[in-house]
Amino acid sequence: MKVLMTGATGFVGRETARALSEAGHQVSPVVRAGDGFRVASIDGYTDWSGAFEGVQAVIHLAARVHRMDDRSADPLAAFRAVNTIGTERLARAAAAAGVLRFVFVSSVKAVGEASPPDGVIDETTVPQPADPYGISKLEAEQALLQVAVDTGMQVVIVRPPLVYGPGVGANFRALVHAVARGWPLPLACVRNRRSLVAVGNLADALRCCVEHPAAAGRTYFVTDGEDAGTAELCQRIGRALGRPARLLPVPVVLLRLAGTLTGRSAAVNRLTGSLVLDSSRIRRELGWQPPQTMDEALAAMVVAECAS
């Protein structure tokens, strides 16, 4: 089928476009410049006229994401303009054009930042987003469900956790480089668990959500199916690099104190806290299985980073 995709040139979008193409689908990218349907931005004013010719499905990846240097006077309004209002406008335009299915890539942040002690987050967990980005994503989910009621267009919501793989940026890439350079990391005392998803696994799940009839109207968490604590993740990265990770036994309470003193509490909480997701629903209902194990995906990422 022909699939319109926003965010097609991004980290997840490139891999998803490849997965769709390999499955025989035609990808119609939404771009700011270059080949595809051009838009200056995605918000409540975007003109989608002519975007959906021959399109049967939409994958909406583009979003305003969290930035450390965000200087918006009203961050929630800025996130809503793109992530909530822009998403709803795109969905209503797609439905009016006769698009059959709309796959929305939301985020675990629409539900929360941490799993309960000795528990997991699944699709029945009551959402409690903790920041403007998460709030805007949850509101977008709610708006899309109303679009589905109003128009009959099939909506699928996918909530990934942290995505990693070749080309990953930000903190995950910095962690890989730290292990590769043998830098000592004060993480040996961290005893947490976090769910992750390799970019290739997420791309394959999005392809499945486009294709499978049973995905209509459903919400799914997508993970690798294996959870790793921060210390274990460093060790796995080290094995992929062929060198041991150097982990120092610094008490977690001191790490959190350092985070408070340096204004980086959120980053330290992500390193030390747990976020465990149950992604069994998509496996059970769609028969989906991740194509890569975590170790295979980490090895592919390390090869790409070393080659760059």
In the chain, the domains with their CATH numbers are: 2-164+197-225+276-292 (3.40.50.720)
CB contact at 8 A, 18 and 58: no
> What would the DSSP string read from start to end of 26-56?
EEEEEESSSSSEE-S--STT---TTTTTT--
Answer yes or no: 133 catalytic: yes
Report which of 173, 170, 305, 185 is spatially closest to residue 245, judged by C-alpha positions: 185
**Model confidence pLDDT, tens digit, residues 183-215:** 999 999 999 999 999 999 999 999 999 999 999
- Confidence band for 181, pLDDT divided at 50, 70 and 90: very high
- Return the number of other C-beta atoms located less than 10 Å from residue 10's C-beta: 17
- Return the number of other C-beta atoms located less than 10 Å from residue 78's C-beta: 18
Q: Cα 200–202–208 angle (5° rounding)?
A: 105
User: pLDDT at residue 72 above 90?
Assistant: no
**Model confidence pLDDT, tens digit, residues 93-138:** 999 999 999 999 999 999 998 898 778 999 999 999 989 999 999 9
What pairs with residue 240 in β-bridges? none
Among candidate residues 45, 133, 164, 220, the one labeled active-site is 133
**For residues 80 and 87, what is the distance between their CA atoms, to the nearest angstrom?**
9
